[in-house]
């Protein structure tokens, strides 16, 4: 009994580090673009144990474990991310006035070494939560009558995007046939932002010396330009968000000549709950309407809070329906084939967005990329290429610019397609077009070639067709009878346009 008592007492009171760390510490990691990511370690010492929080951009970890000796300490921080727990580990020691730490932000991530200095208590704390506006319906901006087509920097470049790369993409799009095929937007994703100037205006970091000049350049190619921000104080990559500056930022975007805004929840997570998203997104919806420039509004909050039910009411033209896509067959199909039930929420001006294209990024073969393109077209999803447009194979360019498939994507009825049948790993999807024709995707998710059959009555066709167009072979197909069977390559697709 006595020994248990001593054991409990020891674990509560045993010091994990002999020195006193009490205080607020900040460590800056250079991100290589002239900006820094700051980690705050707020460490109120309780007795001889280290407690408190670690904050990296919008992520707060509560310190749940500490151990150590006179030579150094190890802290474990824990955060709930949805229903799963994320942990970070910090090892460190005091060296004079400096706190030297080495962090592992995921179990499999490399160690990052940092030097932290004492900063005033409260520095780095999140801004306070502002009251939310009452809900109303933001007027339709009239944009995106067809699913937006363009390019976005994130999938290929992430934090490495800069002015020169964006100009290069505009040059490529304007000359390689993509523009003629309907691609229009050149979208800069996260990591262009610096802090704010003394009047609170958002500024660009050194990768983007002059955003207005860049917008002028993109416009001079007959294209449009998009930008990225967050309703929170920080973006997902830890850059400056629009929190408390929504109208000011919308005005800045309009002055620069921006045509498209992707608005990513991330940093808002510490201030607002999911059921408050509609009000939060309405703030920027209103701000864009007041900006005096038509700016396509793209909501990015990973499909939470049934965004399809209210996305249009905050002025949204597109809304993400899922978490981030990766350049793999598993990721792409998990997302793409899960969109069936959202079809009723899509209409001209308002689209479900299962995330950007990975076509050409190297993680899938050409059959798999044809499946990606076909499925996104049937889903009436935005077609935002995510590869390096300056440098792609002829096959990839042909996949991205297949006019017959793009015609399906851009069909003016704006009806999202649905799954009509599934048998094992084979699925048939159909999208009804404005003229009563039907686009049909015969998909083989299996890893060997397989027969796939479609029965016309399932697809919404009123009459038995005798002819169809195959949109990847660019050939006419004769058929008769109540169904049609094709051999579909492994992970591939046969895509038909069938006119009764
Ligand atoms: C989130 C979004 C991505 C991308 C990154 C940028 O993860 O879902 O599409 O914008 O943020 O940090």
What atom in ligand 1 is closest to the CA of residue 236? Answer: 12
* Catalytic entry in 33, 264, 327, 411: 264
Query: Given this model, what pLDDT does residue 109 score?
Result: 79
- The C-alpha atoms of residue 360 and residue 386 are separated, in whole angstroms, by 8
91 lines ligand 1 (CB under 6 A): no
- The C-alpha atoms of residue 433 and residue 431 are separated, in whole angstroms, by 6
- The C-alpha atoms of residue 445 and residue 427 are separated, in whole angstroms, by 8
Q: Is residue 453 over pLDDT 60?
A: yes
Mean pLDDT of the chain: 93
Listed in order, strand segments (DSSP E) in 200-350 are: 202-204, 224-229, 260-264, 296-300, 318-320
Identify the residue whose C-alpha is closest to ligand 1 atom 5.
Answer: 236
Of 253, 322, 309, 257, the C-alpha closest to 281 is 309
What are the beta bridge partners of residue 85? 80
Integer distance in angstroms from the first to the last C-alpha of the chain?
A: 85
229 lines ligand 1 (CB under 6 A): no
For a mutational test of ligand 1's pocket, the pick from 33, 153, 189, 232, i.e. the residue with the most ligand atoms closer than 8 A to its C-beta, is 189
The DSSP letter of residue 355 is -
322 lines ligand 1 (CB under 6 A): no
Rounded distance from Cα 155 to ligand 1 centre (Å): 9
Cα torsion angle, 203, 205, 206, 211, sign: negative
Query: Given this model, what pLDDT does residue 51 score?
Result: 85
> To the nearest whole percent, how much of the chain has pLDDT over 90?
82
Cα-based torsion angle of the residue sequence 313, 318, 322, 328 in order, rounded to the nearest 10 degrees: 180
Average pLDDT of the residues in 194-215: 96
Identify the residue whose C-alpha is closest to ligand 1 atom 8.
Answer: 324
**Residue 35 binned pLDDT confidence (cut-offs 50, 70, 90):** confident
**Residue 116 binned pLDDT confidence (cut-offs 50, 70, 90):** very high
The DSSP letter of residue 282 is H
154 lines ligand 1 (CB under 6 A): yes
CB atoms within 10 A of CB 366: 17
What atom in ligand 1 is closest to the CA of residue 237? Answer: 12
Which three-class secondary structure state does DSSP give residue 196? strand
193 lines ligand 1 (CB under 6 A): no
- The C-alpha atoms of residue 52 and residue 54 are separated, in whole angstroms, by 7
Query: Given this model, what pLDDT does residue 14 score?
Result: 55
Vertex 469, ends 468 and 475: CA angle to 5°? 125
- The C-alpha atoms of residue 450 and residue 208 are separated, in whole angstroms, by 49
- The C-alpha atoms of residue 166 and residue 390 are separated, in whole angstroms, by 10
Rounded distance from Cα 303 to ligand 1 centre (Å): 13
Rounded distance from Cα 103 to ligand 1 centre (Å): 23
Look-up of token digits 């796939």: 452
Look-up of token digits 């995330």: 355
| Ordered DSSP codes for 32-54 | SSS-EEEEEEEE-EETTEE--EE
Query: Given this model, what pLDDT does residue 81 score?
Result: 73
For a mutational test of ligand 1's pocket, the pick from 264, 267, 298, 318, i.e. the residue with the most ligand atoms closer than 8 A to its C-beta, is 264
Q: Which helix (H) or strand (E) holds 116?
A: strand 112-119
The DSSP letter of residue 340 is G
Query: Given this model, what pLDDT does residue 330 score?
Result: 98
> Cα–Cα distances in Å, from 469 out to 175, 405, 423, 474?
28, 11, 24, 7
CB atoms within 10 A of CB 410: 18
Q: Is residue 172 over pLDDT 50?
A: yes
pLDDT tens for residues 400-444? Answer: 999 999 999 999 999 999 999 999 999 999 999 999 999 999 999
| Ordered DSSP codes for 318-339 | EEE-SS---SSHHHHHHHHTT-
* Catalytic entry in 29, 324, 340, 366: 324
pLDDT tens for residues 261-311? Answer: 999 999 999 899 999 999 999 999 999 999 999 999 999 999 999 999 999
Active site (annotated) includes residue 324 = yes
Average pLDDT of the residues in 39-68: 86
> To the nearest whole percent, how much of the chain has pLDDT over 70?
96
Active site (annotated) includes residue 411 = no
Average pLDDT of the residues in 164-174: 98
Query: Given this model, what pLDDT does residue 11 score?
Result: 43
Identify the residue whose C-alpha is closest to ligand 1 atom 11.
Answer: 236
Vertex 96, ends 90 and 99: CA angle to 5°? 20
Q: Is residue 148 over pLDDT 80?
A: yes
> What tokens appear for 436 in the block?
């009563």
Of 379, 419, 427, 409, the C-alpha closest to 471 is 409
**Residue 82 binned pLDDT confidence (cut-offs 50, 70, 90):** low
236 lines ligand 1 (CB under 6 A): yes
**Residue 70 binned pLDDT confidence (cut-offs 50, 70, 90):** confident
- The C-alpha atoms of residue 91 and residue 407 are separated, in whole angstroms, by 56
What does pTM read for this prediction? 0.90
């Amino acid at each position: 009994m006595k020994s248990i008592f001593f054991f409990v007492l020891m674990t509560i009171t045993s010091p994990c580090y002999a020195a006193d760390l009490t205080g607020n510490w900040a460590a800056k990691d250079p991100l290589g673009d002239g900006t820094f990511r700051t980690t705050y370690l707020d460490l109120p010492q309780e007795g001889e144990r280290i407690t408190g929080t670690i904050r990296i951009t919008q992520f707060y970890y509560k310190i749940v474990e500490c151990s150590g000796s006179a030579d150094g300490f190890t802290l474990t921080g824990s955060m709930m991310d949805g229903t799963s727990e994320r942990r970070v580990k910090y090892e460190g020691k005091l060296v004079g006035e400096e706190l030297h730490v080495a962090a592992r932000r995921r179990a499999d991530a490399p160690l990052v070494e940092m030097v932290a200095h004492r900063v005033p208590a409260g520095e780095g704390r999140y801004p306070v939560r502002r009251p939310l506006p009452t809900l109303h319906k933001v007027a339709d901006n009239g944009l995106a009558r067809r699913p937006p087509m363009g390019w976005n920097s994130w999938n290929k470049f992430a934090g490495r995007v800069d002015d020169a790369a964006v100009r290069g993409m505009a040059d490529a799009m304007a000359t390689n046939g993509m523009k003629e095929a309907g691609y229009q937007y050149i979208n800069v994703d996260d990591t262009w932002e610096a802090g704010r100037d003394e009047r609170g205006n958002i500024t660009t970091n050194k990768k983007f010396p002059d955003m207005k000049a860049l917008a002028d350049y993109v416009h001079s190619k007959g294209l449009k330009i998009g930008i990225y921000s967050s309703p929170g104080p920080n973006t997902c990559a830890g850059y400056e968000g629009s929190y408390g500056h929504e109208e000011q930022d919308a005005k800045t975007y309009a002055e620069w000549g921006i045509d498209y805004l992707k608005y990513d929840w991330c940093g808002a997570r510490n201030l607002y709950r999911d059921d408050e998203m509609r009000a939060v997104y309405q703030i920027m919806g209103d701000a864009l309407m007041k900006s005096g420039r038509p700016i396509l509004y793209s909501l990015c909050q990973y499909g939470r809070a049934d965004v399809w039910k209210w996305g249009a009411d905050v002025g949204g033209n597109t809304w993400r329906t899922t978490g981030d896509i990766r350049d793999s067959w598993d990721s792409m199909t998990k997302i793409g084939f899960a969109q069936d039930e959202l079809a009723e929420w899509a209409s001209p001006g308002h689209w479900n967005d299962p995330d950007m294209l990975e076509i050409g990024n190297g993680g899938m073969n050409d059959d798999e990329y044809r499946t990606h393109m076909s499925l996104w077209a049937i889903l009436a999803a935005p077609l935002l290429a995510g590869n390096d447009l300056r440098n792609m194979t002829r096959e990839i360019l042909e996949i991205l610019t297949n006019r017959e498939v793009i015609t399906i994507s851009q069909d003016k009825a704006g009806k999202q397609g649905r799954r009509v049948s599934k048998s094992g790993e084979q699925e048939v999807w159909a999208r009804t077009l404005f003229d009563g024709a039907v686009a049909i995707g015969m998909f083989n998710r299996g890893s060997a070639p397989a027969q796939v059959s479609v029965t016309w009555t399932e697809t919404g066709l009123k009459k038995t067709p005798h002819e169809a167009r195959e949109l990847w072979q660019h050939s006419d197909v004769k058929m008769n009878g109540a169904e049609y069977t094709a051999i579909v390559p492994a992970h591939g697709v046969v895509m038909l346009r069938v006119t009764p």
